[in-house]
Amino acid sequence: MNKIMSFSMALLAATALAGGTLLYAASRDYISIVGSSTVYPFATVVAEQFGKTTRFKTPKIESTGSGGGLKLFCAGIGVEHPDIANSSRRIKRSEVETCRKNGVKEITEVKVGYDGIVISNAKSAPQMKLTRKDLYLALAKDIPSGQGETLITNPHKTWKDVNPSLPKVKIEVLGPPPTSGTRDAFSELVMEAGCDKYEFIKAMAKTDKDRYKAICMGVREDGAYIEAGENDVLIVKKLEANPDALGIFGFSFLDQNTDKIQGSIIDGAEATFENIADGTYPVSRPLYVYVKKAHVGTIPGIREFISEFTSEKAWGPEGYLIDKGLIPMPDDERKKFSTDAKMLNNLAL
Amino acid sequence: MNSMNNGMGPVEHGTRNLLIQARLKRRYFTEKVFQLLGILAIVTAMAMLGVLFVTIIGKGYRAFQQTFIRLEVFFDRVEIDPLGTGERDVLSRADYGLLVKNAMRDVFPYVTERREKRELYAVVSSGAAFQLREMVMSDPGIIGSRQAVWVLADDDVDMYIKGVFEEGGGRLSERQVLWVQDLMSRGDLRKRLNTAFFTKGDSREPELAGIGGAVVGSLYTMTVTLLLSFPLGVATAVYLEEFAPRNFFTDIIEVNINNLAAVPSIVFGLLGLAVYLNFFGLPRSAPLVGGLVLTLMTLPTIIIASRASLQAVPPSIRQGALGVGASQMQSVLHHVLPLALPGMLTGTIIGMARALGETAPLLMIGMVAFIVDIPAGIMDKATVLPVQIYLWADSPERAFLERTSAAIIVLLAFLLLMNGLAVVLRKKFEQRW
């Protein structure tokens, strides 16, 4: 009988545990942040600094990707929904619409800085001098045939085929999958820019947008472009092992591994901190943080967290975020967004 | 005919013998080949395991040591508490980074140029300031005194000292390399045991990051899982095996349980998201929800193992109990269950070991997150060991590489411990009939 007793006691305890949680009082005393894996390394540094220097708890940050994060962010108002969303692209009109439908009417947009996308190879190989057109011709699925306004399946095998001034090395590029924000930015900043060099395709952007997108952003599937997953550490390792391959990833990974890999020169500009900051290096994108205004005042510390993020010691030209690889905005832009953050100005698309 | 037969006999016999021998040889040969293949398979598996262990331990052992720098820090009253109030609020808000910078400048007084100074300060970890603050907070009496403090070096310095960079100083500038070598020759820079790795929570500074938070999170999650899945699993197994009638309905249940054991773990995560978070409104990232989800995952394993060990109890024991007048329940609780319990425990431990290494289902319920504070309970935000490994593996800083391997070593140690416990329990309580 003793055993039955202890047995049923255990069961009872288990059900009580499960049941008790249903009555769990709705409260949360820490900030919940979701979103882009590109902003994650920066947001986490701010969160840690914030947790250590203020009386507030350290915010929780989930790396869900920009799209996934904004979806969670827009799901509604209340402690079970996140307070802040990080994004490596601007919020879309459709997402703002979803937000509004779910009661998230007021959002503050804060641009926090820039991130460069680099095309790198191993240091043991010669540095590549590429143009965006070269990259487009090397990676697009279909390219202009060169005679009239016709397209052919990409025939290029080596970089020399693309541009005679490049070495005779097999085209092999490791890059992010289509679900990644880095890939979106690469498609837009490199592939589209490269394909705009052809007038007849550029004209298509106005007449037949879908076809334009398909031509410009369609990436080869014959093995020249290798989807290497979201893990940039892995790409760096693979580049080291294969000096012929190029890799596409965020500037911070190049910055941390300068003894192993080097950034290619794109359109004459080297992928250095200074060149990305002043805009000479063409492949960079803005990073954003979105704040749910309805939660300010309910969840403690949101205002203070944002003011930490937008302080000069964090995002200024000599701030700690810069040490982590963030590219700072120019002075006037920083000023504008720090006032936006302070006043919690509403997002205007 | 007869004589011919007699004449042919031995010859025929001889050829048959030869035939048999040849075939026998072939059979022995194939058996040898088969055994050889088996040994080869084991050797290959062991070699791969060996490679795994060697690479992980080879990289990971370095994280158990960390580079420290000895600084003569002057706890200047003017900087910390100029009014001499002694209030904790004032003490906590003082600029301890400045004290570290002053101490570094005292060591290298010739560094004056702004850019150079920045490089000099970068040799010491940003965690040094927090370390000084903790010292003052725990003993305000040291204000005004001069103390020798071992503070953490920056992760780039640590990597340089451990010889990770392939060429020269890696991310360190030439000046920084000279300073580091200077400190080392004076005996003010040394590798010491890294206890913070086991006690601290996550951090974005590799030298400050520890697995303490993840271990505590894993502990809470596993406790919830054990408390729920063991009683539920055993009760289910006992009822199905000892009491339930055999009919269509129980057959369906049995098929479903066996199926559930093979469902990919991410599916349980999706289920957890839909049921626990969206329907019951439990908090995201809480060990409670993680435990509930992992319970769903381990339940089938426990039920199947428990039923198997109940089946292994000979019917004679049940019949004996019933024969002397015990009720069905008495025979189960007093005789069958104690005999089956070691097997059930083994199954539970193996199920728990699997749950300990799981990340996929936790992704969906928000436990894959950057969490610095060490969780205080099952409702607090938390992460678990394998998730910590996953997050570190994806970090750009080189120093996280060795931390990733070190965390894997810790996880493997826990798994080894649990599986070892299962073996010991089986050996100790196993009954043979």
Contacts of B130 in chain A (CB under 8 A): 52
Residue B207: pLDDT over 80: yes
Instruction: State residue B383's pLDDT score.
Output: 93
User: Which stretches of B194-247 are DSSP H helices?
Assistant: 196-199, 212-238
Place A2 in a pLDDT band, splitting at 50, 70 and 90: low
Nearest CB to A24 within list B203, B282, B366: B282
- Determine contact: B370 vs chain A, CB below 8 A: yes
Contact A231 B285 (CB under 8 A): no
CB contact at 8 A, B427 and B82: no
How far apart, in whole angstroms, are the C-alpha atoms of residue A78 and residue A75?
A: 10
| Fold match flag (A27-115+286-343 vs A116-284) | yes
Alpha-carbon Rg of chain B, whole angstroms?
A: 33
Say if residue B346's pLDDT is above 60: yes
Interchain pair A62, B366: CB under 8 A: yes
* Predicted confidence band of residue A59 (pLDDT cuts 50, 70, 90): very high
Mean pLDDT of B33-55: 96
Average pLDDT, chain B: 89
Give yes or no for a contact between A140 and A191, defined as CB atoms under 8 angstroms apart: yes
Is B373 within 8 Å of A61 when comparing Cβ atoms?
A: no
Subunit contact A47:B372, Cβ cutoff 8 A: yes
β-partners of residue A247 are: A120, A174
C-beta separation of B291 from B384 below 8 A:
no
Would you list the domain boundaries of chain A?
27-115+286-343, 116-284
Query: What fold, for A27-115+286-343?
Result: D-Maltodextrin-Binding Protein; domain 2 (3.40.190)
Strand B189-193: give its sheet, edge to edge. Answer: B146-152, B65-74, B189-193
Q: Residue B393 and residue B406: Cα distance in Å, rounded?
A: 11
The full set of domains in chain B, from first to last, is 64-194 (no CATH), 212-429 (1.10.3720.10)
**Neighboring chain A residues of B165 at a CB cutoff of 8 Å:** 259
Pair of tokens at residue A49: 């600094």
Give dist(CA A51, CA A45) in Å, integer: 10
- Determine if the pTM surpasses 0.90: no
- Cα separations in angstroms, A181 against A36, A117, B84: 8, 11, 53
Task: Supply B342's token pair.
Answer: 């070691």
Q: Is B164 on the interface with A (CB under 8 A)?
A: no
Predicted pLDDT of residue B307: 94
pLDDT in tens, B109-156: 888 887 788 889 889 998 898 889 888 888 888 888 888 999 999 988
Convert the pLDDT of each residue in B241-253 to its tens digit. Answer: 999 998 999 999 9
Mark yes or no for CB contact B381/A30 under 8 Å.
yes
Q: What percent of chain B has pLDDT over 70?
A: 96
Instruction: Give the model's pLDDT for residue A210.
Output: 84
pLDDT band at A14 (very low <50, low <70, confident <90, very high): low
Identify the DSSP state of A179. T
- What was the pLDDT predicted at A13? 54
The residue of B394, B400, B401, B405 whose CB has the most chain A CBs within 10 angstroms, and thus the best one to mutate to test that interface, is: B394
pLDDT (average), residues A221-246: 85
| Arithmetic mean of pLDDT, B241-269 | 91
The answer to whether residue B205 scores a pLDDT higher than 80 is yes
Q: How many angstroms separate the CA of residue B164 from the nearest CA in chain A? A: 10
C-beta separation of A20 from A72 below 8 A: no
**B385: buried, middle or exposed (CB in 10 Å: 19+, 13-18, 0-12)?**
buried
Q: Which residues in chain B have Cβ-Cβ distances shorter than 8 Å to A230?
A: 394
The whole-number pLDDT of residue A6 equals 57
- Whether residue A17 and residue B372 make contact (CB cut-off 8 A), yes or no, is no
CA distance A225 to A183: 12
Q: Cα dist. B69→B60, B112, B185, B189, B268 in Å? A: 22, 21, 12, 4, 48
- B285: chain A residues, CB-CB within 8 Å: 60, 62
For domain A116-284, which CATH number applies: 3.90.76.10, 3.40.50.300, 3.40.190.10, 1.10.760.10? Answer: 3.40.190.10
Per-residue 3-state assignment (H helix, E strand, C coil) for B331-380: HHHHHHHHHHHHHHHHHHHHHHHHHHCCCHHHHHCCCCEECCCCCCCCCC
If you search the block for the tokens 């052809």, which residue do you land on? A198
Closest CA to A40 of B401, B394, B351, B197: B394
Confidence of residue A257 (pLDDT cuts 50, 70, 90): confident
Distance between CA atoms of residues B206 and B397, nearest Å: 7
CA B75 centroid distance within chain: 40
Cβ separation of A44 and B370 shorter than 8 Å?
yes
Question: What does the block give as tokens for B125?
Answer: 């970890």
Instruction: Indicate the range of A294-298, A344-348, B213-217, B246-250 predicted with least confidence.
Output: A344-348
Rounded-to-integer distance, Cα A67 and Cα A73, Å: 10
Identify how many contiguous H helices and E strands chain B contains and give both numbers: 19, 4
Q: Tokens 């090397």, residue?
A: A138
Phi, psi of B65, deg, nearest 5: -120, 150
pLDDT tier at B214, thresholds 50, 70, 90: very high
Q: Is the dihedral of CA A61, A295, A68, A256 positive or negative?
A: negative
- Taking 50 as the threshold, does the pLDDT of residue A22 lie above it? no
Question: For B21-50, what is the mean pLDDT?
Answer: 95
